[in-house]
């Protein structure tokens, strides 16, 4: 644990992720958190914060507008980027990452204006034979060489403990992804009774809950994208999204079963929040139902740029694909980045922020009210 940022040694390695040791740094002058609710953000910031100037500008906008979250979970974070953001914007920070050979992206950080009482990284079990089998299935090593897990932090929210689990799950193998979900559930269950939030990049489209609905796809034309058939009828298999082709990992029944089990422990704010909205590039807001009404009106042809953007809003999608050669951003319709919370945390708001291009993912923000269950 460090008091202040000056005594930290610079991270070494090609991506400056660190040595695998969990760092906890207390800011000497943290900025005050808000009263009334706990605002939390999860954001995959792309290869250690590759678009550093845009990322810094986005944080400046959040601070200037009074929208800065109390807690921020970062994925694909380098140690220097996480520490600079924490130092400049008044956050305590927990960080864990480990440089190995190759283009690793395992750095995770939790920035908090509430005191961080404890921080540790729980590395998921990934036996050598299972890793070798996954590499053989994928055909190359890639991210499977990394030790993924959950960065845990226990924070003090106005005198009450809240547990945070920041995750960045495997994209390249759905079986590995499913196993990580089961291990996350076990971690949360081990602290039963403590208000908890699991958040991060799950690398699976968690909107999709089942393979199909009894209602035929044509009759579900403008319903939320909740089944594999819904997704395929809207997007097909031609839209890549950060390597997750077609419906992606969620197409594996093992991933859906693991998600269902996780949701017995934790709730998805998309289903329970009082307000759902998307912040548009111009700063205005659009609700998913408003986007769905425009789609129903049929003003924009399917697969047009306008249609794809509306469908993204309707599905609260969190992937911000890069423009193609014609300058059009293909819609992915996938929600990889989100929160799961225990019953002690009432979700008031879930927002996806389209006002920044600092990453290939979009920030997701949630407001929670900590229920008083002590009576």
Q: Give residue-wise pLDDT tens across range 28-64.
A: 999 999 999 999 999 999 999 999 999 999 999 999 9
HSE (side-chain half, CA atoms, 13 Å) at 166: 32
Q: For residues 14 and 47, is the Cβ–Cβ distance under 8 A?
A: no
Q: What is the mean predicted confidence (pLDDT) over 68-79?
A: 98
> CB atoms < 10 A from the CB of 345, how many?
25
3-class secondary-structure state, position 205: coil
For residues 272 and 302, what is the distance between their CA atoms, to the nearest angstrom? 30
Phi, psi for residue 180 in degrees, rounded to 5: -65, -35
Please say if the pLDDT value at position 364 is more than 90: yes
pLDDT digits (tens, 9 = 90+) for 126-165: 999 999 999 999 888 888 999 999 999 999 999 999 999 9
Confidence bin at 331 (pLDDT 50/70/90) = low
Give the count of domains, the chain.
1
d(CA 76, CA 48): 5
Residues 302-321, mean pLDDT to the nearest whole number? 87
194-213 pLDDT tens trace: 999 999 999 999 999 888 77
Taking a C-beta distance cutoff of 8 angstroms, is the pair 175, 190 a contact?
A: no
Decide if 336 contacts 312 (C-beta within 8 A): no
More confident position, 162 or 225: 162
pLDDT for the residue numbered 327? 60
Q: Are 44 and 337 in contact (CB under 8 A)?
A: yes
pTM score, whole prediction: 0.95
CB 88 within 8 A of CB 29: no
When the pLDDT of each residue in the chain is averaged and rounded to a whole number, the result is 91
In the predicted model, is pLDDT for residue 323 greater than 80?
Answer: no
Q: Is the pLDDT of residue 14 over 60?
A: yes
Among 199, 146, 144, 147, smallest CA distance to 172 is for 144
Average pLDDT over residues 81-90: 98
Tell me, what DSSP letter sits at residue 319?
B
Strands (E), 37-79: 38-44, 71-75
Both tokens of residue 21? 């040791």
pLDDT of residue 53: 96
More reliable by pLDDT, 327 or 293: 293
Domain of 62?
A: 2-370
| Confidence at residue 250, expressed as pLDDT on a 0 to 100 scale | 93
CB 97 within 8 A of CB 17: yes
What pLDDT score does 325 carry? 59
User: Percentage of the chain with pLDDT > 70?
Assistant: 92
Q: In the predicted model, what is the mean pLDDT of residues 336-347? A: 97
- Cβ-contact 364, 40 below 8 angstroms: no
Q: Are 111 and 82 in contact (CB under 8 A)?
A: yes
Evaluate if residue 321 carries a pLDDT over 70.
Answer: no
Torsions phi, psi for 11 (to 5 deg): -70, 145
Nearest CA among 55, 52, 48 for reference residue 15: 48
Q: Check whether 238 has a pLDDT greater than 60.
A: no
Cα–Cα distance between 199 and 369 in angstroms, integer?
Answer: 16
375 within some domain: no
What's the mean pLDDT in 85-97? 98
Q: What is residue 113's predicted lDDT score, i.e. its pLDDT? A: 99
Residues 6+ away with beta carbon under 8 Å from 37: 348, 367, 368, 369
Residues 244-298 pLDDT 10s: 677 889 999 999 999 999 999 899 999 899 999 999 999 999 999 999 999 999 9
CATH number at residue 10: 3.60.10.10
Does residue 220 surpass a pLDDT of 90?
Answer: no
The mean pLDDT value for 111-124 works out to 98
Quick check: 328 pLDDT over 70?
no
pLDDT at 178: 97
Question: Does residue 53 form part of some domain?
Answer: yes
Note whether residue 13 is domain-resident: yes
Q: How far apart are CA 89 and CA 57, in angstroms?
A: 12
Give residue 171's pLDDT band: very low, low, confident or very high (50, 70, 90). Answer: very high
């Amino acid at each position: 644990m460090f008091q202040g940022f000056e005594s930290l040694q610079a991270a070494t390695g090609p991506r400056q992720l660190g040595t695998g040791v969990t760092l906890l740094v207390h800011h000497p002058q943290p900025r005050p958190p808000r009263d009334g609710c706990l605002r939390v953000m999860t954001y995959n910031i792309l290869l250690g914060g590759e678009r550093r100037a845009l990322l810094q500008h986005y944080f400046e906008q959040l601070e200037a507008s009074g929208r800065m979250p109390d807690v921020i979970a970062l994925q694909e974070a380098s140690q220097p980027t996480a520490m600079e953001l924490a130092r400049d914007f008044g956050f305590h920070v927990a960080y864990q990452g480990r440089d190995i050979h190759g283009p690793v992206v395992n750095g995770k950080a939790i920035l908090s204006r509430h005191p961080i009482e404890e921080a540790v990284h729980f590395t998921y079990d990934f036996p050598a034979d299972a890793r070798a089998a996954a590499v053989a299935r994928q055909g190359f090593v890639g991210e499977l060489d990394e030790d993924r897990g959950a960065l845990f932090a226990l924070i003090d929210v106005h005198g009450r403990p809240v547990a945070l689990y920041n995750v960045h799950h495997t994209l390249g193998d759905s079986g590995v992804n499913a196993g990580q979900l089961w291990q996350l559930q076990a971690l949360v269950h081990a602290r039963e009774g403590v208000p908890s939030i699991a958040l991060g990049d799950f690398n699976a489209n968690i909107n999709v809950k089942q393979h199909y609905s009894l209602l035929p796809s044509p009759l579900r034309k403008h319903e939320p994208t909740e089944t594999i058939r819904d997704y395929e009828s809207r997007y097909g298999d031609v839209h890549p999204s950060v390597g997750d082709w077609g419906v992606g990992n969620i197409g594996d029944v093992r991933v859906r079963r693991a998600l269902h089990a996780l949701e017995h422990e934790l709730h998805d704010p998309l289903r329970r929040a009082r307000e759902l909205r998307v912040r548009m590039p111009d700063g205005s807001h659009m609700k998913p139902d408003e986007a769905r009404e425009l789609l129903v009106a049929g003003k924009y042809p399917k697969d047009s740029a306008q249609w794809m953007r509306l469908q993204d809003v309707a599905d609260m999608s969190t992937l911000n694909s890069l423009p193609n050669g014609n300058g059009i951003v293909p819609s992915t319709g996938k929600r990889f980045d989100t929160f799961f919370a225990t019953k002690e945390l009432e979700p008031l708001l879930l927002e996806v922020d389209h006002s920044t291009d600092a990453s290939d993912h979009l920030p997701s923000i949630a407001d929670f009210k900590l229920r008083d269950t002590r009576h």
